[in-house]
Structure 1
C-alpha cells in the first residue's frame, strides 16, 4: 500500500478526533446512597434469583432433620398440679399479730416452696421410696459392654503416668451412689411452672417410660407434702420443749423479783406507797401555796409600814390618805358615822339656830365621831407595825415547814423510784410468764393436729403420646430455618457480589453513561444466539437497534466514523456487539467491520469465514490488497475485514504509522468503521485503537466481571483523554433484576410476523 503523496506524515495522535460531542463520564443517572438505607427490592431480587437453591437447601435440611428425629427415642411428659396454702402462723408470735406475720413476704415464701420442689433432698426421698435405682431404665442393656469394640480416647495418646489403684466400694456405698444418680435423673427431668397470680404450680417430668414419668410426679408431690408435715411437726415439738424450758426460767425470775419487792417494802416500812406518794405531794403543794400567800401578806405589810413611818407627825387627814388606813373596816364604819352626823348637822342647820337643843345634840354627835375617827386612826397606824411582825413570823414559819417537807419528799422519791423499778420488773416477768404459759398451753393442745400446707389437685396420668420429638413441628421448624438460612446466604452473596447486574448499576458503580443494555437470550439450536440479520424482530435485534439509536443521537453534530468496541476481559460479547452494531448501522450507511483483536480473533468465526484468509494484518503489512482483505457479506449488508494471521507483535503493528495510514484510507471509503478490539485488562491494544478512533464503546457482561476491574478499564481510557461513548450492559437477566425491567421485556419478545 502506497502513501498518498499529498498526505503529510502525521503521528497517530494528531488524527481527527470527534470527542466534543461525546457524553461525559458520569453523565448517567446518579443515585445518592444512604448508609442507613436498605434496598428491599435488591434483597427480594437476590432471594428470587436463588429461590430454587434456597428451596433445595430448605428441603435438604428438612430431610436431614426428619431422619435425625426418626432415630430419637420418644420422650413422654407427665404433669400434675399442686396448690400451696399460705404460710402457717409462728407459734412464738402472739395471736393478735398473726395476720401481719402471715402476710409478710408471702411471695418469697411461695418461691421457696417451688425451689424445695426442685431440691435434691426431695428427689432422693422419691428415689428411695420408689427404689428407682433398681428400675430397668438404670440397668445396662443386654449385651452392652460384653463385646469388645474399638474405642479411641485422647488420653491414650498421652504418656502413661502412675495412678492410684481404684477405691473398692462396699455394696452400701455403691447403692448410695446409684440412689444419687437416680436423684440427679429426677432433678434433670423435672420442671416446676407456677401459675401467675395463684398458689397453683404444675409439676412435669420427662422420661422415656410414660408410666414411670407419672409415678415420679405423683410420688414427688406426695413426698413434698409429707416432708413439710414432718418438718412442721418436729418444729412444733422443738418449740414446745424450748418454751417449756423458758417458762421455767420465767417462773424463777418472777419469784425472785416479787421477793425482792417485798423485802424492799419491809426494809423501808412502806404499807401504802401509792397513798403516801399522793399525800406527800399534796401537802407540799398546799405549803407552797400558803408560803406564797404569807410572802405576799408580809410584802404588803412591809409596804404599809414603810409608808406610815415616812409620815411621822402627820395629821389624821394625812394619815387617812394611806390606802391601808382608809380601807380598814373600823375606819370605814366610823367614816360612815361621821358622814351621817355631818348630814344631820347640815339638815338641822337649815331649820334651827346654833343654840337649839337639837342642833347642839347633832354637833355633839359630830364631835364624838371625829374624836372616835382620830383615836381609831391612831390605833390603826400603831397596829401596822405589829401586823408586819406577825406576817414576817408567819412567812418564816411556813418557809421552815416547806423546807423540812421538801427534804422528806426527796428522800421519799428516792425510795419510790427504787420501789417502782422493782415493781416494773415484777410486772414484766409476770406478763412474759402469762404469755408463754398461754402459748405453750395452746401449742400443747393443738400440736397433734397439723394440717398439710399443700395438696395434690390433679394426679399425673401416664401420657398416651410422646412429648418429643415432635416430628411435625421439627419438620416445619427445620424448613423455616433452612429457608431463612438460604435467604441469608443469598443476601450475603448478593452483598458480596460486586458485579454489574442491572442497567442502574452502570451509573451507581461505574459512574459512566449507559449507552444501552442487551438482555440475556436463550441460544438457538446451533448453540449461539440469533444475530440481527437472522432474527430482525427478536430481543437481541431490538437491543442492538436501541444502541444504534443512542449512538446516532449522541453524534448528531459530529458523527463518529471510527468506533472501537472493547471490554475488560474476553468473553463479554464485544465481538458479537461490534458485528451486530455494524450490521445495524449498515442498514443506513456503508459500514466496515474490522477485526482489531490481533491476539484472539473471533470475528472470522462469527461471520463463517476462514480465519487464515487475508485481513487486517495483511493490509497493514502490505502483503495483500484492500480488495483481497475485505469481504462483502451479502446477508448482513456490510463489509468485513477479519484479523488475518496473528502477527508476532500485535501492539507494535497497531501503534505503527502504517496502521494509522491504513485506517485513514478506510475512512475515505466508508461512512462508519466498527473495530473489534482486544480486551482492556490483559493488553493495551484497545488504548492504541482508542487513540485513533472517534469514540469507544465499553462492553460489560452482566453478573460476570467485578465492577472494580471494569472501573480500572474505564479509568484507563479516561486517563488518556479517549472519547468514551458509553457502556453497553450485555446479557443482563431481565427477570432477575426486577419487575421494572421485566415489564418492558414484552417489547423485545414480539415475534416476527409469518
Structure 2
C-alpha cells in the first residue's frame, strides 16, 4: 500500500523543499544571523589587537663578481625552483631566527615571550584548574633554553617568506603589534640571511684550508714512502727488460713446438707396437713395418719354413731398432719438458718482478699527482680568505606600515554573518528532520501512497457544542468548503457505485476524526440525503459533547443485543435533519461486540433505510475496533492531524487496513497561519491558487 517510489525519490535532493524549510525558519535564521554578526562585531572592535605587517625584499644574484679567477669552495646558489624553495627553508631555519631573537632581545618582549604577558582572567582560571591536578611537568619552571625555543617558535609563526613568481626574489613579511618592530624584524631577518651566506662561505673556506693542509701533509708522507719503495726494489731485485722477457717467451714457444712434435712421434711409435701385437699374419706385420724384405718374405713364409725363419729374424732386428728409437724419443721428450718447466719458472719470476716494479712506479706517480693537485688547491683556497661574497642582496628594506593589516573588521563581521547563516540553516534542517510530521498533502501522499481527498482547517469553535452553530452560520467558510470538497471526492471516487457506508478513523486520539465525521454527515444532509451517524468508538463516547442532552438512554449495544430495534434507538435531530446512533458502554470487549454478526446485520438494515451511513471509528493504533469495523464498510477515510501525527504512526496505521479499503486521506486541523509558512494560504484557497480564494470564502469567524 505504501508508495514504492519513496526510496527512489528520497535519493534526489529537492532544492525547492530545502528552500521552503529555510523560508519557514527565516525568523530563527535571522535571529541567529544577527546574534553572530553582533558577536563578530564585538570581537573585531573590542577583543582583537591590531596587527601590522612589514616586508623586506631580497634577491638571489644570478652572477657573482670574481675578484680572482679561482674556483670557490662553495658553488654559487642555483636559481631553479628547488633551489629557491630550499632557500626559503634556510630563511625559516631555527638557527637563523634564533640569531634574530638574540640580536633584538625578543626574549624580553611580551609579544613573543608569553611568560611576560599579564595574565587574563581566563588564563588565571586555567592555571587554577591545573593547580588542582599537579603534574611533574607543571611544576617545572622552563629554563632559558626552553624559553628561547618558545620565542623562536613564536617569531616563526609571525613571519612568512615567499618567492615572487617568475623571479629569484624573496619577500620576508613580519606581523607585529608594533609597526616599527615589524619593520625592524623584517630587516633583521633579511640581514641575517645575507650575513649567513657570507659566514657559511667563510666557514667552509677555513674548514677546507684545514682539511687540505692535513691532506697535503698525508700525501707528502705517502709520496716519499712510495718513492723510497721503488728505489729499494730496484736495488734488491735484478731487473729484466721487456726485450729479454720477449726473447725468453720466443724460446719457450720453440721448446713447446718441439715437445709437440716429439710427443706425436712417441705416440706413433706406441701405436705401431700396439698394432704389431694385434697383427697375426706375416703380411700384416710386414705392411705395418713397411720393410721391403719382410714384404717379399711374407708371401712365401706361410708355406716355407726357411722363409718363415728368415722373416722372424728380420722382424726381430727391425723391432730392436724401433724400440731403441722409441726410447730415445721418450728421453728427448722428458728433457724438453724439463727445459720447458725451468723456462716457465724463469719467465714467471722475471715477469712478477717487472710487474711489481711497474705497480710501485705507478703508485708513486699517482701519489705525486695527488700531492701536487692538493698542494695547488690549498694555495688557491688560502688565497680566497677574506674575499667571500653573499649570493643574495637586499633589494629593499621594510617600510614602517601606517595602517593595520589585521584584523579586517568587515571580513570578521561578514564571516560571522556567514557562519550564522550556515548555523541557522543547519539548525533549521535539524529541527525539520526531528519534526517527522505532515505539513503538506504532498508529504502525506508520498509517504502513504494514497491520495489526499480532503484538507480541513481548524474549526474556530472554542467548544465542541459550538460546531453546529459555526457550520450553520458560516456555510461558505473555508472549513465548510473543505467538507464539500471532501464529500465530492468521496462521491466521485466511484460514480458507478459510490460508497454508502463510510468509516472515519485515525492513528491516535485527538486528530479530529469525530468532528470530521459529524461535518461530513451534515454536508450529506444539506444535499437532501438521509444520513445515519454511528458512534463506533464505544470506549470514549464523545458524541454527547456535541449533541448535549440529546443523547438517548439506549444505543448501539442495545441494538446489537436485541433489546431495541434500530428505529427505536436512533436519535433524530429536528434542527440538523440528522439521525444519530449513539455508542454505549458494554461489559464485553468492544472489538468482540463490533465483529459480531449482529453488527453486519445492523449495517445491512441501515443500508436499506439511509442513503449514507457515517461511522466514527476509534484510532487504529490504540484498539483493534477500527480494523474490525472495516470489514463491514464500503470506504475508509483516514484522518491525519496536520503537523502533529508522526510519519511512523501513519505508516503503521495504514498497513493495518486491508489494501484498497482506504478511500483516501484527510489532512485535518490545518492551522492557516502555520500553513502559510509552507507556501500556502489555506484560509483563502490552498495550493498554488492560494491567493485567489479571498473572493469565494466567508472568512468572518465571529
TM norm structure 1 = 0.65
Alignment-derived partner of residue 372 in structure 2 = 434
Paired residue for 1:22?
none
1:614 aligns with 2:550: yes
Alignment of 1:143-158 (within 5 A): 153-154=128-129
1:502-581 residue pairs with structure 2 within 5 A? 502-511=440-449, 513-514=450-451, 516-518=453-455, 540-581=479-520
- The 1:632–1:156 alpha-carbon spacing in structure 2 relative to 1, beyond 3 Å, is farther
Match of 2:648 among 699, 702, 708: 708
State the match for 2:104 in structure 1.
Answer: 130
**What's the RMSD between the two structures over aligned residues?**
5.7
Q: 1:72 aligns with which of 48, 72, 75?
A: 48
Using the alignment, how far apart are the partners of 2:90 and 2:503 within structure 1? 87
Shift of 1:414: 2.4
Q: Does 1:730 align with 2:694?
A: no
Shift of 1:737: 7.4
Secondary structure in structure 2 of the residue aligned to 1:78: strand
Post-superposition Cα deviations, 1:62-85, rounded to whole Å, max 9, x if no partner, equal 322222233222223333343456
Paired residues of 2:252 and 2:343 also in contact (CA < 8 A): no
Partner of 2:172: 203
- Answer with 653-662 or 213-222: which moved more: 653-662
| 1:425 positional shift | 1.4
Residue pair 1:538, 1:749 contacting (<8 A) in 2 also: no
Q: CA deviation at 1:54?
A: 2.8
**Does the Cα contact within 8 Å between 1:564 and 1:675 map onto a contact in 2?**
yes
Alpha-carbon displacement from aligned partner over 1:520-551 (angstroms, at most 9, x marks no partner): 58969999999776666665444433322232
Q: Which moved more, 1:193-202 or 1:50-59?
A: 193-202
Which secondary structure does the structure 1 equivalent of 2:172 belong to?
A: strand
Partner Cα separation in structure 2 for residue 66 and residue 110 of structure 1: 41
Unaligned runs of 5+ in 2: 65-69, 264-288, 294-332, 559-563
Matched, 1:115 2:115: no
Q: 8 Å contact 2:53–2:405 — kept in the other structure?
A: yes
How far apart are the structure 1 equivalents of 2:117 and 2:351? Answer: 98
For the 8 Å contact 1:562–1:673, the answer to whether it is kept is: yes
Q: Which has the larger radius of gyration?
A: 1
Contact 1:593–1:676 at 8 Å: present in 2 too?
no
Structure 1 pair 713/421, CA: closer, same or farther in 2 (3 Å)? closer
| 1:57 paired residue among 17, 32, 43 | 32
Any gaps of 5 or more consecutive residues in structure 1? 1-25, 89-93, 300-308, 314-394
Which structure 2 residues correspond to residues 89-104 of structure 1 after superposition, within 5 A? none
Question: Deviation at 1:433?
Answer: 0.5
> In the TM superposition, what is the alpha-carbon distance from 1:446 to its structure 2 partner?
1.6
Give the whole-Å Cα distance in 2 for the aligned partners of 1:125 and 1:529. 94
Residue equivalent to 2:11: 37
What is the DSSP-based 3-state SS (H/G/I as helix, E as strand, rest coil) of the residue aligned with 1:703?
Answer: coil
Number of corresponding residues: 615
- Among 263, 276, 283, the residue aligned to 2:247: 283
Contact 1:700 1:729 in 2 (8 A): yes
Determine if contact 1:79/1:460 at 8 Å carries over to the other structure: yes
What is the deviation of 1:700?
0.6
Instruction: Tell whether 2:32 aligns with 1:82.
Output: no
How many Å separate the matches in 2 of 1:129 and 1:698?
85
DSSP-derived class of the 2:638 partner: strand
Contact kept in structure 1, 2:680 and 2:690, CA below 8 Å = no
1:463 maps to 2:438: no
Per-residue CA distance 1:561-615 (angstroms, 9 max, x = gap): 3433232334423244223322432343324464736777777777xxxx53222
The CA deviation at 1:442 is 1.2
Paired position in structure 2 for 1:358: none
Is the contact between residue 65 and residue 474 of structure 1 (CA under 8 Å) also seen in structure 2? yes
* Aligned residue among 577, 585, 591 for 2:524: 585
Aligned equivalent of 2:426: 488
* 1:523 and 1:530 in contact (8 A); partners too: no
Q: Is the 8 A contact 1:79 1:205 kept in 2?
A: yes
Q: Shift of residue 427 of structure 1?
A: 0.9
CA deviations over 1:671-710 (Å, ceiling 9, x no partner): 2233445544556665676566554322112331012223
Displacement of 1:246 in angstroms is 1.7
Equivalent residue of 2:639, what SS? strand
> Which residue of the partner structure matches residue 573 of structure 2?
631
Q: 1:285 to 1:670 in 2, by over 3 A?
A: closer
Specify the alignment match of 2:185 in structure 1.
216
The answer to whether the Cα contact below 8 Å between 2:245 and 2:350 also exists between their aligned partners in 1 is: no
SS in structure 1 of the partner of residue 403 of structure 2: coil
Query: What is the 5 A alignment of 1:318-397?
Result: none
| 8 Å CA contact retained: 1:552, 1:559 | yes
CA distance in structure 2 between the aligned counterparts of 1:146 and 1:724, rounded to whole angstroms? 69
SS state at 2:502 partner: strand
Q: Distance between the aligned counterparts of 1:501 and 1:485, measured in 2?
A: 24
What pairs up with 1:593-612 in 2 under 5 angstroms? 594=533, 596=535, 612=548
- Which of 355, 371, 389 aligns to 1:451? It is 389
Residues 639-696 of structure 1 show CA distances to partners (whole Å, capped at 9, x for unaligned) of 365969x979898699599999987886665422334455445566656765665543
